[in-house]
Amino acid sequence: MKTKIKIKSSEILFLVGNTGTVGIVKVANDQMLFIGTTEKEEIVMYLEKDDLIAVSAFGTGEKYEKAIKSMAFITREMESPIIVLPKGHPSSKRLKMVLSVGDTVRLDCDIIPGTHPEQDILCSCDSLSGLKIDKSENGVLISGEIPDYKLESFDI
The residue extents of the domains of the chain are 2-145
Q: For 34-44, write each residue's pLDDT tens digit.
A: 998 878 889 99
Which are the contacts of 96, defined by CB distance < 8 A and separation ≥ 6?
Answer: 57, 58, 59, 67
Coil, strand or helix at 148: strand
Coil, strand or helix at 67: helix
Q: Is residue 115 scored above 80 in pLDDT? A: no
Question: pTM of the full predicted structure?
Answer: 0.94
Q: Is residue 110 scored above 90 in pLDDT? A: no
Coil, strand or helix at 3: strand
pLDDT (average), residues 17-23: 96
pLDDT (average), residues 133-154: 94
Confidence of residue 68 (pLDDT cuts 50, 70, 90): very high
How many C-beta atoms lie closer than 10 Å to residue 128's C-beta? Answer: 24
* Per-chain mean pLDDT for the chain: 92
Contact in structure between 69 and 77 (CB atoms under 8 Å): no
Q: For 130-143, write each residue's pLDDT tens digit.
A: 999 999 989 999 99
For a pLDDT cut of 90, what percent of the chain falls above it? 74
Instruction: Quote the pLDDT of residue 70.
Output: 97
Coil, strand or helix at 118: coil
Q: Is residue 86 scored above 90 in pLDDT? A: no
